[in-house]
A and B are shown apart, each in its own frame.
Chain A
Amino acid sequence: MVDHVGKVVLPGEIVTGFKASEKTSKVILGPGLRQETETIRATKPGILRHKEPNIYWVDSHQKRYIPVKGDTVLGIVTAKAGDIFRVDVGSSDQASLPYVAFEAATKRNRPDVKVGDIVYCKFVEANKDMEGEVVCIDSSGKSGGLGVIGRDAGYLFQVPINLTRKVLSPDCELFGSLGKNMRYETAVGMNGRIWVKAKTVVETIAITNAICASEYMTNTEIKNMCKRLADSMAGF
């Protein structure tokens, strides 16, 4: 038994040495691992990660987004078709967004969404054989931060998907340290799109650059960078 955890795995490689949970004797496989009857193979190149007690997945550098149910993504409305909007989320196919899936929208009362709008939405249907479906409400019918964003201002840019995961992980202090001395708001989609809005264009550019630069930084490096950024913004 070879312990692959923390090592690089390549697509097709057989992965062994899983620890099952003691209670249920099950192993949870995340993205990048596939079961073929008895053997488990990697389907993505990357580092095999393990989380206690029994979760395994492959952490890889990736730019192509594959929809997953429950992901929140940033999409761009490309068309209005009957009772749905078509939304480009950066995956192989466009997703559909029903017009009743907005807060306080009814059949009569259509939401104010135009072609070209950015929507922060959540996947409720993500299937490899079917068109994905996104909504802009939570289970209680509230918007909960979802919906059309940035119609008046803001900047949308694309980063590798692993970077969005990094900045959203609870250990990462990038947004917190940036937010100490800068007023801004942001929306991060799991499809690798980040939207930033600050008061001035200079600030927006600074934040964008900080996010892009943080891909290979540790937490202390990120903190230092944010400090230097704040100093230079203040004119020192």
Chain B
Amino acid sequence: MAGGPDQKTVLSKNVLQMKFMQRSALRIEKELNEEENKDIDDEHWVLDLPATQKLENNYMFEPSLVRIESLQFGRMSFCGFNPEIEKLMKRHNTKVELDAAEVKEMELSVQEDEMANRYQSLFGTIAKKFSSKRDRGQIEEKFSNSEENPPKSKKHRKFIKPADDD
């Protein structure tokens, strides 16, 4: 053979261009790139310094006063001078109002943990509502901690077979 034992067999360019060879073509290219990068990295001189610490930045920058001061949109029309713009203004205003209402609602509405606390105490009362009359006694038993009602002995109602004499 023409190639020596250490010479890599190289696929020809024409073969690599074929569709079914695309994957190997990509792989070969990647390998070549890696070799090149390795060469570059080896040649690269680096000062042997300790890594610089990155300071934590507590400041953010907001260049727009429109957002800071929450300014209105600058296009306005009054008394029906330009109906198109008035429609636009209306849309803007309802959006702003909705946002404001949402914020207000967040403030006024019941917080999650508050809700949980309240429901904890209410649990028995509400459970009673959804239970049948038969189960009611059991629920009351569970939630009343008073000494006056000592827990009744549990009596399972069982089907009593009718005595079949004769």
**Residues of chain A at the chain B interface (Cβ within 8 Å):** 20, 25-31, 35, 37, 40, 51, 55, 57, 68-72, 120, 144-146, 164-165, 168-170, 175, 178-180, 182-190, 197-199
> A188 and B74: CB pair below 8 A?
yes
B55, B59, B73, B79: the one contacting A145 at CB < 8 Å is B73
A40, A51, A178, A183: the one contacting B80 at CB < 8 Å is A183
B68, B70, B75: the one contacting A187 at CB < 8 Å is B75
> B65 and A68: CB pair below 8 A?
yes
What is the bound-complex CA distance between A58 and B20, given in angstroms?
65
> A69 and B74: CB pair below 8 A?
no
A–B complex contacts, Cβ < 8 Å, 21 sampled: A26-B60, A27-B58, A28-B62, A28-B68, A30-B65, A31-B65, A55-B62, A69-B63, A71-B64, A72-B74, A169-B72, A170-B70, A170-B72, A179-B79, A185-B82, A186-B77, A187-B75, A187-B76, A190-B65, A198-B81, A199-B81
| Majority DSSP secondary structure for residues of A touching B | mixed
For residue B130, CB closer than 8 A to chain A, the reply is: no
A27, A57, A71, A179: the one contacting B60 at CB < 8 Å is A27
A150 CB → nearest B CB, Å? 11
Report B42-80 CB contacts with A as 1/0, cut-off 8 Å.
000000000000010111111111111111111111111
B100 CB → nearest A CB, Å? 10
Neighbouring A residues of B70 by C-beta, 8 Å? 170
- Give 10 nearest A-B pairs by CB, closest first: A179-B78, A188-B74, A185-B77, A145-B75, A183-B79, A168-B71, A185-B82, A183-B81, A185-B81, A30-B68
Interface size of B by CB at 8 A reads 30
A26, A55, A197: the one contacting B58 at CB < 8 Å is A26
> A183 and B78: CB pair below 8 A?
yes
For residue B21, CB closer than 8 A to chain A, the reply is: no
> B74 and A25: CB pair below 8 A?
no
B107 CB → nearest A CB, Å? 14
**Residues of chain B at the chain A interface (Cβ within 8 Å):** 55, 57-82, 85, 88, 96
A35, A40, A72: the one contacting B73 at CB < 8 Å is A72
What is the bound-complex CA distance between A144 and B77, given in angstroms?
14
> B62 and A30: CB pair below 8 A?
yes
- Whether A70 contacts B76 in the complex (CB less than 8 A), given A145-B85, A185-B85, comes out as no
What is the bound-complex CA distance between A184 and B76, given in angstroms?
9
> B60 and A68: CB pair below 8 A?
no
Residue in A31, A69, A185, A197 with the greatest tally of chain B CB atoms within 10 Å: A185
What is the bound-complex CA distance between A190 and B74, given in angstroms?
8
Neighbouring B residues of A184 by C-beta, 8 Å? 77-79, 81
A32 CB → nearest B CB, Å? 10
> A169 and B75: CB pair below 8 A?
no
- Whether A144 contacts B88 in the complex (CB less than 8 A), given A26-B59, A70-B64, comes out as yes
Residue in B57, B61, B71, B74 with the greatest tally of chain A CB atoms within 10 Å: B74
What is the bound-complex CA distance between A46 and B67, given in angstroms?
19
B61 CB → nearest A CB, Å? 5
A229 CB → nearest B CB, Å? 14
Neighbouring A residues of B76 by C-beta, 8 Å? 175, 179, 185-188
Neighbouring B residues of A35 by C-beta, 8 Å? 57, 59, 61
What is the bound-complex CA distance between A31 and B61, given in angstroms?
8
> B78 and A29: CB pair below 8 A?
no
